[in-house]
Structure 1
Amino acid sequence: MNLAMLSGLTAFALYAVASLILYRQFRGQSAPSRMAILTHGGAAVAAHFVCLWQLMITPDGLQLGIFPVTSAVAAVGGALVLLSSLYRPFEWITALVYPFAAATLPAALWLKTGYTARPLEHGLGVHVLFSIVAYAVLALAACQAILLFIQHRQLKEGHIRGVMRLFPPIQVMESMLFEAIWLGEVLLTVAIISGFLYVDDLFAQHLVHKTVLTLASWVVFAVLLGGRYLRGWRGVTAVRFTLVGFAVLLVAFVGTQFVLQVILHEPPMVS
């Protein structure tokens, strides 16, 4: 068993243990143990990054196929949750992040696409790095929006029930949501600018659809942030904009890459 397989299976098992601990605590109507989440989650994320290093760093360049990159986004998301949990009650998001991160590992390890590893030239590494981190931050914002929607729905029905009673107040959840969106929008802006600087030919590199959809997602998040500042948008309006913006971004990467790499076997020059 090579190092990629060993570290990937280790990460999968640790994510599963952390998720099981979390769900058992939720089921018992008790707040999740931050130490348990940080310990098992931290070890899982570390093993995940070791696995990705083995899978993505090759003698021919970076392997930026859809499954390794999706797994990288999940790993970065897990790392961001761990860091955020040190100063904000962000550990609740692990209920969504850890199972997803675990699910990406088998795909990254065993599912192959037509993507061939290529060297990143002309500073494209900056674009790829910021893109992955931006996707991860905005994915966390989408997870936060889902939990916030559930809170609002229960509050509208008259009372907060079940595990949602353990979550932070709605005001705190909304504040954390907009913090994530602001950070994600800044990172996405850098990713878009670096993409325009370093990509030579959008048409030849099959990047037109991805670029247009990414810009559309950027606009959705910009409108939301503008509405928050100028009109005080919050609640369900913020949730809807967040989920729409992330859905467009998801189609921009996952949809485009899936069609090119899995269906057409025509991988773009960059991810």
Structure 2
Amino acid sequence: MNLSVISGFAAFALYLVACLILYRQYRGQQRPSRASVLIPGSLAVLAHGLCLWQIILTSHGLQLGVFPVASTVAFTGAIVVLLSSLYRPFEWISALVYPFAALTIPAMLWVNTGYIAHPLAHGLGMHVLFSILAYAVLAIAACQAVLLWVQDRQLKSGHIRGVMRVFPPIQVMESMLFEAIWLGQILLTVAILSGFLYVDNLFAQNLAHKSVLTLVSWVVFSVLLTGRYLRGWRGRTAIRFTLSGFAVLLVAFFGSQLVLEFILKR
């Protein structure tokens, strides 16, 4: 067994341990303690990072196939959750981020899409970095929107049930949602601008759909933030815009990348 498999297996196991701790605390309708998030989560992230280092960095360049990138997005999301948990009640989001991070590891290790690693041109690394950061933060915003939708439905029905009783008030949830969207939108803007600066022919045949859909997603989030500022949009309007914008962004990269790697074999 090489180092990537050992570290990947360790990360997978640690993510599952963290999930079990979180689910048991939620089942008892208790707010998860920070230690239950930070200790196993930090160890899992360290092992995950080591695994990614072994897989993505090759002698021929960077391995940026769909599963390594998905795992990198999940890894980045786990780091964001850990750091955010130090100053905001973000512990609950770990119950959604950790399982996804765990599932991306075996896919990255054992599913071969035929993607060939290649070196990045000057400046392209910044585009890739900010794209991954934007995906990760906006994915967290989408998770937040889903939970906010559940909380909103229960409030409108007249009673909060189950684990939602230990969640922050809906005003705090909305505030955290828009914080994540603002950060994600800033990162996405930098990613788009760096793409225009450093990617040759951004609207070439194999990049056009990805570029157009990413711009559509940026517009959706911009409309939401403008509506929040000018009209005070919140609740289900914010949820719909968030999930719609992220769905478009998801298709922009992962949908097109799956077609390129699995069907067209590029």
TM bracket, shorter-chain basis:
over 0.9
Q: Matches of 1:254 and 1:38 in 2, distance apart?
A: 29
Partner of 2:65: 65
Letter in 1 for 2:6: L
TM-aligned CA deviation for residue 247 of structure 1: 0.2
Letter in 2 for 1:242: T
Q: Matches of 2:202 and 2:83 in 1, distance apart?
A: 36
Letter in 1 for 2:34: R
Q: Matches of 2:30 and 2:200 in 1, distance apart?
A: 54
TM-aligned CA deviation for residue 204 of structure 1: 4.5
Partner of 2:165: 165
Q: Matches of 2:123 and 2:215 in 1, distance apart?
A: 21
Secondary structure of 2:206's match?
coil
Q: Deviations over 1:117-144 (max 9, x none)?
A: 0101121000000000000000000000
Partner of 2:216: 216
Q: Matches of 1:154 and 1:227 in 2, distance apart?
A: 25
Q: Deviations over 1:4-30 (max 9, x none)?
A: 000000000000000001001111111
Q: Matches of 2:176 and 2:155 in 1, distance apart?
A: 19
TM-aligned CA deviation for residue 32 of structure 1: 0.9
Secondary structure of 2:160's match?
coil
Superposed counterparts of 1:216-235, under 5 Å = 216-235=216-235
Partner of 1:41: 41
Partner of 1:269: none
Secondary structure of 1:43's match?
helix
Partner of 1:260: 260
Q: Deviations over 1:70-119 (max 9, x none)?
A: 00000000000000000000111011000000000000000011211010
TM-aligned CA deviation for residue 202 of structure 1: 3.3
Question: Aligned pairs, how many?
Answer: 266
Query: 1:146 aligned to 2:150?
Result: no
Partner of 1:116: 116
Letter in 1 for 2:48: H
Partner of 1:133: 133
**Structure 2 stretches lacking a partner, 5+ long:** none
- After the TM superposition, list the runs of 4 or more consecutive aligned residues in structure 1 that deviate by more than 4 angstroms: none
TM-score normalised by the chain length of structure 1: 0.97
Secondary structure of 1:30's match?
coil
Secondary structure of 2:8's match?
helix
TM-score normalised by the chain length of structure 2: 0.99
Structure 2 vs 1, CA of residues 205 and 118 (structure 1 numbering), >3 Å: closer, same or farther? farther
Q: Matches of 1:127 and 1:261 in 2, distance apart?
A: 21
Tell me if the contact between 2:188 and 2:218 (Cα under 8 Å) persists in the aligned partners.
Answer: yes
Letter in 1 for 2:225: L
Letter in 2 for 1:168: P
TM-aligned CA deviation for residue 201 of structure 1: 2.0
Query: 1:191 aligned to 2:211?
Result: no
Letter in 1 for 2:148: L
TM-aligned CA deviation for residue 188 of structure 1: 0.1
TM-aligned CA deviation for residue 173 of structure 1: 0.4
Query: 1:28 aligned to 2:28?
Result: yes
Q: Deviations over 1:147-172 (max 9, x none)?
A: 10000000000011110000000000
Q: Matches of 1:265 and 1:58 in 2, distance apart?
A: 20
Secondary structure of 1:180's match?
helix
Partner of 2:102: 102
Q: Matches of 2:179 and 2:204 in 1, distance apart?
A: 37
Letter in 1 for 2:81: V
Query: 1:248 aligned to 2:227?
Result: no
Partner of 2:55: 55
Partner of 1:91: 91
Partner of 2:238: 238
CA RMSD, Structure 1 to Structure 2 (Å): 0.8
